[in-house]
A = this chain, B = another copy of it.
């Protein structure tokens, strides 16, 4: 499948995406993903896709890839469409909806996390959205890989913890569950919301916080979340090995 080279998603990163887990032909939490894309469009000033059309497009990509019986990742991409030269959007916009599916093998080893030099820009609404302008995340992940780690912890410009390059961050202290507040420049993750909801249902105290180096240093255990990997323990943060915790296992079990 191809798109014209005047697409604003390609030229400027003007658009959004979602990565949806598909299991045995079912798009997991699709409504939450579609709703987030609609909210993101409102922030960016883009028309939003019709959730039913987005679902049909995602499902068609899953079937076309022959992955209806596998564990798969379906990526939905919504671009601002073809446009003239320059930054100003043409009127009317004719956004473009794309989808592709790929196998999503399950893994469970603890992840090695490295704090990246590239910071998240909490002064842009894009920091809370899955936009096509994801280069900072690519660069942060690259830093992590080059240092032998699996994933990058991204701080915001104030030095507060935000999230990983492709996941949200949680930690545990004294049986309480913490995660950076969205205002810190945090992707509003579908699995992040599910974890907060599940923890509350299990009677676990949760807090969305501004957290600097001291809060991270005092944390007892860390985990990452996203729609593909669910809940995944962090085995090391920078040079520091970090242990498991029964609350991580409990949350992973409740969300599996």
Seen from chain A, the residues whose Cβ lies within 8 Å of a Cβ on chain B are 1-14, 17, 44-45, 73, 75, 77, 79, 84-89, 98, 100, 102, 104, 118-126, 131-139, 141-142, 145, 157, 165-166
The 3 closest A-B pairs by CB, nearest first: A119-B123, A121-B121, A133-B133
Given A10-B7, A73-B85, A86-B166, A124 and B132 touching (CB < 8 A)? no
Q: How far is the CA of A133 from the CA of B11 in the complex (A)?
A: 8
User: Would B98 and A5 count as touching, CB distance under 8 A?
Assistant: yes
User: Which of B6, B125, B134 contacts A13, CB < 8 Å?
Assistant: B134
| Contact residues in B for A118 (Cβ distance below 8 Å) | 123-125
Cα A125 to Cα B136 with chains together (Å):
8
Contact of A11 among B5, B75, B166 (CB under 8 A): B75
Chain B residue nearest to A155 (CB atoms) is B123
Contacts of A135 in B (CB 8 A): 12-14, 44, 126, 131-133
Contact across chains for B136 and A121 when beta carbons are under 8 A apart:
yes
Contact A123 B5 (CB under 8 A): no
Residues of B within 8 A of A133 (CB): 13, 132-136
A77 surroundings in chain B (CB, below 8 A): 5, 10-11
Q: A3-B3, A11-B77, A121-B124 are in contact. List 9 more A-B contacts (CB 8 A).
A: A3-B5, A12-B132, A45-B142, A87-B137, A87-B141, A126-B136, A131-B135, A133-B136, A157-B157
Label chain A's interface by main secondary structure.
Answer: mixed
Are B79 and A10 in contact, with the CB atoms below 8 A? yes
Contacts of A138 on B, CB cut-off 8 Å?
A: 8, 12-14, 87, 89
CB distance from A121 to the nearest CB of B (A): 4
Q: Are A1 and B5 in contact (CB under 8 A)?
A: yes
Which of B17, B73, B84, B166 contacts A102 (CB under 8 A)? B84
Contact between A3 and B6, CB atoms less than 8 A apart: no
CA A17 to CA B87, docked complex, whole Å: 13
A142 touching B89, Cβ below 8 Å:
yes
Nearest residue (CB) in B for A146 is: B45
